[in-house]
Amino acid sequence: MLGDTNSVPSVTRRLLHTGRKFNFEMLTVSAPGKKSLEREVVRHPGAVIVLPLTASESGPEVVMIRNWRLSVEDWMWELPAGTLEKGEDPLVCAGRELEEETGFRAATIEPLCRFHTSPGLSDELMWAFVARGLTPGPQRLEVDEHVTVHRLSAYECVRRAEQGEMSDAKSMLVLLLAARRGLI
């Protein structure tokens, strides 16, 4: 047997750092008959990602952003996304992030899926939504955000994901899932 899914290891937690958005913990994991080990974990409040869709004469378009990410020190193609505020409903967060990052408001926002972004190092759970009936308006970027807005054909977005021109996993997942489900 590769692993006993009926036995649950015991875990003790020690807070290492309280950050502005995330906390960092040291977990000590003990299981009967195994050596204890320690792992650092990022505690995350959760996040959303939005697939904003518009229609054009040539077919569906996606509102994408080019986002300068400090962690990789480069521009990335992404769908609008953001972190949940304490106690915030993911649907409310999706509308807020869409408007802040792109300037667009949506007539409808519907759930697509939810997923853990990187369970090997974080407990972040991300909710994905599809936004339609977009009305343009001004962006409301946070002071540390550098974002430009682009409308691309759904075909072009999927092509970029498949050809490696996009490296943001959350955006790739949502685009490819939407394509597979026939939404774009």
Question: pLDDT tens digit string along 121-176?
Answer: 999 999 999 999 999 999 988 888 899 999 999 999 999 999 999 999 999 999 99
pLDDT digits (tens, 9 = 90+) for 77-117: 999 999 999 999 999 999 999 999 999 999 999 999 999 99
CATH 3.90.79.10 domain locations along the chain? 47-180
Model pLDDT, residue 5: 62
Residues above pLDDT 70, as percent of the chain: 97
**In angstroms, rounded to a whole number, what is the distance separating the alpha carbons of residues 181 and 177?**
6
Whether the Cβ atoms of residue 167 and residue 160 lie closer than 8 Å to each other: no
Active site residues: 145
Whether the Cβ atoms of residue 50 and residue 93 lie closer than 8 Å to each other: no
pLDDT of 2 above 50: no
DSSP string computed for 3-69: --TT---EEEEEEEEE-SS-EEEEEEEE-TTS--EEEEEEE---EEEEEEEEEETTEEEEEEEEEEE
CATH no. of 47-180:
3.90.79.10
Residues composing the chain: 184
Structure tokens at 170: 């959350």
Whether the Cβ atoms of residue 128 and residue 51 lie closer than 8 Å to each other: yes
